């Protein structure tokens, strides 16, 4: 069974950095697309970054382009989201997700999320 567990969230000041981790089991990252999402209270879930499946690339939403970097370590079956220059509006629960096809709103597997809070 595919399982995803996020970690690395916490409280950080404006301008600071955090690195989120997504530990996976039950599949290999080189066979799945890995997506990063976030959701703030009262808001829709927002896609942030996607590491595409085989022959794909890495993509970012405009809101995080240039500040966040998604990566993966296939040997460890772990994905990462390096978040720099954090802003209060980045405060949300962050999720990783996986799908054999692509990144989208209804990806097949989801973690439970990790809270990121950016203080002003």
Where residue 40 falls (left for φ over 0; alpha for ψ -120 to 50; beta otherwise) is: beta
**Edge-to-edge strand order for the sheet containing 18-25?**
3-7, 18-25, 78-83, 68-73
Report the candidate in 86, 85, 56, 87 with the shortest Cα–Cα distance to residue 72: 56
Q: What is the pLDDT of residue 29?
A: 76
CA atoms of 91 and 87, how far apart (whole Å) = 8
- Which single residue is written with the structure tokens 């939403």? 61
Report the alpha-carbon distance of residue 5 to residue 78 in Å, rounded: 9
Residue whose entry in the numeric block shows the structure tokens 């997504």: 22
**d(C-alpha 46, C-alpha 36), whole Å:** 9
pLDDT tens track, the chain, 120 positions: 889 999 999 999 999 999 999 999 998 777 889 999 999 999 999 999 999 876 678 999 999 999 999 999 988 999 999 999 999 999 999 999 999 888 998 999 999 999 999 999
The token pair at 47 is 């896609």
Q: Residue 87 CA to chain centroid, in angstroms?
A: 16
């Amino acid at each position: 069974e595919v399982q995803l567990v996020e970690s690395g969230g916490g409280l950080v000041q404006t301008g600071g950095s955090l690195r989120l981790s997504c530990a996976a089991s039950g599949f290999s990252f080189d066979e799945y697309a890995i997506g990063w999402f976030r959701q703030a209270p009262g808001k829709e879930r927002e896609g942030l970054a996607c590491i595409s499946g085989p022959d794909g690339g890495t993509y970012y939403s405009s809101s995080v382009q240039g500040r966040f970097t998604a990566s993966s370590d296939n040997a460890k079956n772990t994905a990462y989201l390096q978040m720099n220059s954090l802003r209060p509006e980045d405060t949300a629960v962050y999720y990783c997700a996986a799908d054999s096809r692509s990144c989208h709103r209804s990806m097949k597997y989801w973690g439970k999320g990790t809270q990121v809070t950016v203080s002003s």
